[in-house]
Amino acid sequence: MIGSIAKYAAAGMLVVTACLLPRQGESQSIASRVAQVRDGKVRMSFASRDDICGWGDGISTNYTGRTNNRSKWNNRSDDVDYDNECMAGPARVVLTISGARVTKVRSYVGGRWRTPSDATDIGTVPAREAVDYLLGVANRDDGKGAGEAIFATTLADSVDIAPRLASIAENESRSDEVRGQAIFWLGQTRTDKSGEYLRSLYRKIRDEDVKDKVIFSISQQNDEDSQNWLVDLASNANESTEMRKKALFWAGQTGTPFSRLSAMYSKTRETEMKDQMIFVFSQRHEAAALDKLMDIAKNDPDREARRKALFWLGQSHDSRVSAFLADIINR
């Protein structure tokens, strides 16, 4: 009898101990679980943002909970099947591992995993842990996989990735492709801090190709602070002409009040910057832009500036421009 009690007591202790132990997967980091696959594929899922959805060949923002009316869509991918177009989360990521390195990262939203599959499935993981792992790949590995890992982090729910993307972008030891991806997606996050990170980042970067990417990403913020920054950069004679021209172009594309752009022209003496301003004016569609071009074509003391303004006016179909050009021709 005593032996039986001892036997059941021991069994009970085993059950209790098993319940107290972390489940498989919780006791290991994502990195350690992925590391068990030296060559092959690993897949995982995590909570995605509620404003995105997916289908076989893409991911869309501004999810409304309804099927989009697209004329063509593919309900299958290499890894995920879809019952309908534009399905809500989770985010699904497939890592291709070669020689214990992540060489490719494919990202999906919604749907269900295809079966059978040769991928090792580590299940659903917390979004923050998935982001930590994927940004670790971006910080460590080179090539396409590192850049693709950055995109995958942008799908995660309730995780602020902006500070860490800024850190990758600032890291001069990373290859340009990875930094470029970090800068691009930092520009797309449009959080309260992302514009601030980007503007601060520009001052720390020396490579003009990377600076170019920062200027573009700042232009995507679509806020007044970013517009002011672009105009200030375009006006800064201490910056290179190429960076100033790019800043001016994007200032013109992002809704900067035309009065600010027009005021810059009268203060500018550099031929390259004046040429760029005339081009920027030609891309605006308000009446004030045409008025400015006609004024330049008629009154600017620089003959080359007048010629370029006339060229761009000639591309317009506005009736006022037609009358203006006829008047010049008939003089």
Give the mean model confidence (pLDDT) for residues 270-280.
95
User: Taking the C-alpha atoms of 241, 247, 250 and 255 in order, what is their torsion angle to the nearest 10 degrees?
Assistant: -130
Least confident of 55-64, 214-223, 305-314: 55-64
Residue 76 pLDDT: 62
Residue 177 pLDDT: 86
231 pLDDT tier (thresholds 50, 70, 90): very high
pLDDT tens track for 64-108: 444 443 334 456 678 998 888 888 889 999 999 999 899 999 999
- Of 40, 148, 143, nearest to 93 (Cα)? 148
Which amino acid is located at 230 in the chain?
A: L
pLDDT tens track for 125-161: 999 999 999 999 998 887 889 999 999 999 999 999 9
Unique residue bearing structure tokens 């499935």: 121
205 pLDDT tier (thresholds 50, 70, 90): confident
